[in-house]
Amino acid sequence: MIILGFESSCDETGVAAVCTERGLLAHALHTQIAMHQEYGGVVPELASRDHIRRVVPLTRQVLEEAGLAMSDIDAVAYTAGPGLAGALLVGASVAQSFAWSRHLPAIAIHHLEGHLLSPMLADPRPDFPFVALLVSGGHTQLMRVDGVGRYELLGETLDDAAGEAFDKSAKLMGLGYPGGPALARLADSGDAARFDLPRPMLHSGDLDFSFSGLKTAVLTRVKAAEQQAGGLDAQTRADLAAATQAAIVEVLAAKSIRALKQTGLRRLVVAGGVGANQLLRAKLAAALKPLKAQAYFPPLALCTDNGAMIAFAAAERVKAGLVTLDPDAHGFTIRPRWDLADIA
């Protein structure tokens, strides 16, 4: 079965074709970073309009690269939530229209399930069960995954997600959008030991996270630099970036290791945009060695939002018998707020 997948939950338009037997056939992605940089963050209305402009050309590109005709598609998948309502509606309407016009089933996919399963697109592919660290701009969660659709929440952030902590701290330092990658790049030339920043809930004993206090600590350091020296000089900014990254990564790694120990599992899947962070990957690799555990990451190109993870999640749900492939069931239901624990 060949599934065409659409992702449009925020500021990236993704389209991909996945075969249940052969895997990923082709994918295409357009990011709106350049458009939103002028505003310092995502503008929902502009994001929605850009999805409209991009989705059809990207679909044509994917079909061409995969050597497929529209008649070769057996089902269509799309992100139904969570995300920006207007952006979600673009992907949902295009997917449902495509499915209706070809009399195909349409499969609504949870955005986080797409991220959760995306490391299975890499080689080697993790086996079930495993612990998953979902870490992105809007979500930081630890899950136990026993199979497709079988997810248990172990811990989550009580306030800001790790990606938010990266982005908000970067903004305080005067870095551009998107802040997280800019902060990580700057951190390479910084001394993390110069600033002693807090590691919120590092020793809480549970698997929950909190990063709002770290953001406040960064703000305090920035204000102190402004009062003492009139602002952050280049080296101070780099050192503060390095210290911020080190604090976030230490908490993420420590909680992930604790989750493995509590569950007795030896496989850790890391998914979401922050999963591309090189310090996090290195820190986890070092921490997992004594446990004889293995970390799995999606390919770097698939760490951010993309259509491949949506089409793949749909394919996995089909293979697991969790999808009713009804070509007559169509609608435009989206769920901007959708708990992963609520998926059927």
Mark whether 268 and 165 lie in a shared domain: yes
User: Residue 168 above 90 pLDDT?
Assistant: yes
How confident is the model at residue 332, as a pLDDT?
A: 76
Same domain as 259, residue 155: yes
Q: What gap in Å lies between CA 291 and CA 286, rounded to an integer?
A: 10
- Residue 163 CB contacts under 8 Å (≥ 6 apart), including other chains: 135, 136, 137, 138, 139, 140, 180, 272, 273, 274
Q: What is the 3-state secondary structure (H, E, C) of the chain?
A: CEEEEEECCCCEEEEEEEECCCEEEEEEEEECHHHHHCCCCCCHHHHHHHHHHHHHHHHHHHHHHHCCCHHHCCEEEEEEECCCHHHHHHHHHHHHHHHHHHCCCEEEEEHHHHHHHHHHHCCCCCCCCEEEEEECCCCEEEEEEEECCEEEEEEEECCCCHHHHHHHHHHHCCCCCCHHHHHHHHHCCCCHHHCCCCCCCCCCCCCCECCHHHHHHHHHHHHHHHHHHCCCCHHHHHHHHHHHHHHHHHHHHHHHHHHHHHHCCCEEEEECHHHHCHHHHHHHHHHHHHHCCEEECCCHHHCCCCHHHHHHHHHHHHHCCCCCCCCCCCCCCCCCCCCHHHCC
Give the pLDDT confidence of 173-193 residue by residue, as tens digits.
Answer: 999 888 999 999 999 999 999
In a domain, 121, yes or no: no
Domain presence at residue 123: no
Q: Are 75 and 324 in contact (CB under 8 A)?
A: no
Does residue 286 lie within any of the structural domains?
yes
Tokens representing residue 267 in the block: 């496989």
The percent of residues in the chain predicted with pLDDT above 90, rounded, is 92
- The residues, any chain, with a CB within 8 Å of residue 213's CB and separated by 6 or more, are 198, 200
Answer yes or no: do 182 and 94 share one domain: no
**What is the pLDDT, as a whole number, of residue 169?**
96
Angle at Cα 263 formed by Cα 211 and Cα 271, nearest 5°? 50
Residues 111, 145 within the same domain: no
Residues 163 and 252 reside in one and the same domain: yes
Residue 213 lies in domain: 129-297
Tens-place pLDDT, residues 229-283: 898 999 999 999 999 999 999 999 999 999 999 999 999 999 999 999 999 999 9
pLDDT of residue 337: 92
**12, β-bridge pairs:** 31
Q: What is the mean pLDDT of residues 3-7?
A: 98
Total-model pTM: 0.95
- Give 192-205 pLDDT, tens digit per residue: 999 999 999 999 99
pLDDT in tens, 273-310: 999 999 999 999 999 999 999 999 999 889 999 999 99
- Give the pLDDT score at 344: 65
Q: Is residue 321 part of a domain?
A: yes
**307 with 283, same domain?**
no
Question: Same structural domain for residues 255 and 273?
Answer: yes
In a domain, 243, yes or no: yes
What is the domain count for the chain?
2
Residue 288 shares a structural domain with residue 310? no
Give mean pLDDT, residues 57-71: 98
Q: Which residue has the higher pLDDT, 339 or 50?
A: 50
Q: Is 124 inside any structural domain?
A: no
pLDDT in tens, 132-142: 999 988 899 99
Q: What is the mean pLDDT of the chain?
A: 95
Asked if residue 286 and residue 318 are part of one domain, the reply reads no
| Same-domain pairing of 309 and 292 | no
Question: Given this model, what pLDDT does residue 177 score?
Answer: 85
- Together in a domain, 146 and 289: yes
Q: Please check whether residue 268 lies inside any domain of the structure.
A: yes
191 within a domain of the structure (yes/no): yes
Q: Is 209 left (phi over 0), alpha (psi -120 to 50) or beta?
A: beta
Residue 195's pLDDT is what?
Answer: 97
Label the pairing between strands 12-19 and 2-7.
antiparallel
Find the CATH number of the domain harbouring 247: 3.30.420.40
Note the pLDDT tens digit of each residue in 87-134: 999 999 999 999 999 999 999 999 999 999 999 999 999 999 999 999
Q: Looking at the structure, tell me whether residues 50 and 107 fall in a common domain.
A: yes
Confidence of residue 50 (pLDDT cuts 50, 70, 90): very high
Strand partners, 103: none
Residue 341 is predicted with a pLDDT of 80
